[in-house]
């Protein structure tokens, strides 16, 4: 069902972004990977190609509008439609309001909110060319209104609640164009091996990356008439 589609994964050079890029490729998806460090994106590309998959690596600092514009120009030189856009890049920040300087605060807002909005806007023409596109956004539990159970900095909360509102709004407007938008709201979760299946290994198992991917895959496999706007997970937060 996913084979032959084209996906873009932001933050694809490490952690969950890398894992979901590999898992998409194993489904037969052509994966475009962007990361702030080109070497990181190329490492993910190397893993995918070693398994016989198809991937392209790009450099993009999503917090920097000039970097983002240059990346989009390069990406769209390949005129195939983008079928799946996974927005997973975000700068983590923790601590009290006065504990971080302007650069940290602005970078957190730009990477978690502004950059995602600008990228989505820039890629809409390509997404509209797809027979049925999906935008999937890693929001986090910090994007849930009234949620405070995390050590995240207020700027991180603001970015995540902002991107959650963005998802909700564009999901409504893009549904008529056969573009589905789903926000994912996990608490802290553990990374795992690229070959691990979801398991219950303790009395209080911690959510892991593979379980989130399986949820994403479930959403992607639904009939186009099924629009799932948000997925919430339960679990502890740091």
Predicted TM-score (pTM) of this structure: 0.93
Contacts of 219 (CB under 8 A, 6+ apart): 134, 136, 180, 182, 228, 231
* Mean pLDDT of the residues in the chain: 92
Q: How far apart are CA 108 and CA 98, in angstroms?
A: 14
Q: How far apart are CA 188 and CA 212, in angstroms?
A: 11
- For 225-229, which contacts have Cβ atoms below 8 Å and span 24 or more sequence positions? 227/171, 227/175, 227/180, 228/180, 228/182, 229/167, 229/168, 229/171, 229/181, 229/182, 229/183
Is residue 169's pLDDT more than 60?
yes
101-119 burial by CB neighbour count: b if 16+ within 10 A, else e?
eeebbebbbbbbbbbbebb
Q: How far apart are CA 76 and CA 32, in angstroms?
A: 11
For residue 188, what pLDDT band results from cuts at 50, 70 and 90? confident
Comparing 202 with 63, the larger pLDDT belongs to 63
- The residue-averaged pLDDT of 109-118 equals 96
Q: How far apart are CA 62 and CA 221, in angstroms?
A: 28
Tens digit of each residue's pLDDT (9 = 90 or more) over 29-54: 999 999 999 999 999 999 999 999 99
For residue 168, what pLDDT band results from cuts at 50, 70 and 90? very high
Tens digit of each residue's pLDDT (9 = 90 or more) over 134-157: 999 999 999 998 888 889 999 999
* Alpha-carbon distance values, 146 to 84, 95, 142, 236 (Å): 30, 18, 9, 16
Alpha helices in the chain (DSSP H): 15-26, 38-50, 65-75, 102-109, 115-129, 154-174, 209-220
* 87 in Cβ contact with 116 (< 8 Å): yes
Q: 186, 187, 185, 183: which is closest to 229 by C-alpha?
A: 183
Comparing 51 with 91, the larger pLDDT belongs to 51
Q: How far apart are CA 160 and CA 190, in angstroms?
A: 19
Q: How far apart are CA 166 and CA 147, in angstroms?
A: 17
């Amino acid at each position: 069902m996913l084979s032959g589609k084209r996906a873009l994964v932001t933050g694809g050079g490490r952690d969950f972004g890398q894992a979901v890029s590999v898992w998409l490729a194993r489904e037969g998806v052509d994966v475009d990977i962007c990361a702030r460090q080109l070497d990181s994106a190329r490492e993910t590309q190397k893993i995918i190609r070693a398994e016989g998959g198809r991937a392209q690596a790009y450099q993009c600092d999503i917090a920097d509008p000039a970097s983002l514009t240059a990346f989009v120009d390069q990406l769209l030189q390949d005129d195939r439609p983008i079928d799946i856009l996974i927005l997973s890049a975000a700068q983590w920040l923790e601590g009290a309001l006065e504990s971080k300087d302007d650069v940290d605060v602005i970078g957190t807002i730009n990477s978690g909110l502004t950059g995602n909005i600008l990228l989505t806007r820039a890629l809409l023409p390509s997404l509209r060319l797809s027979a049925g596109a999906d935008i999937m956004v890693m929001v986090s539990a910090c994007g849930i209104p009234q949620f405070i159970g995390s050590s995240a900095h207020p700027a991180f909360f603001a970015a995540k609640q902002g991107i959650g509102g963005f998802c909700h709004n564009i999901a409504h407007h893009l549904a008529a164009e056969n573009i589905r938008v789903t926000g994912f709201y996990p608490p802290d979760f553990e990374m795992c091996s690229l070959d691990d299946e979801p398991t219950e290994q303790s009395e209080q198992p911690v959510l892991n990356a593979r379980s989130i991917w399986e949820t994403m895959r479930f959403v992607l496999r639904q009939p186009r008439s099924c629009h799932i706007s948000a997925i919430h997970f339960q679990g502890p937060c740091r």
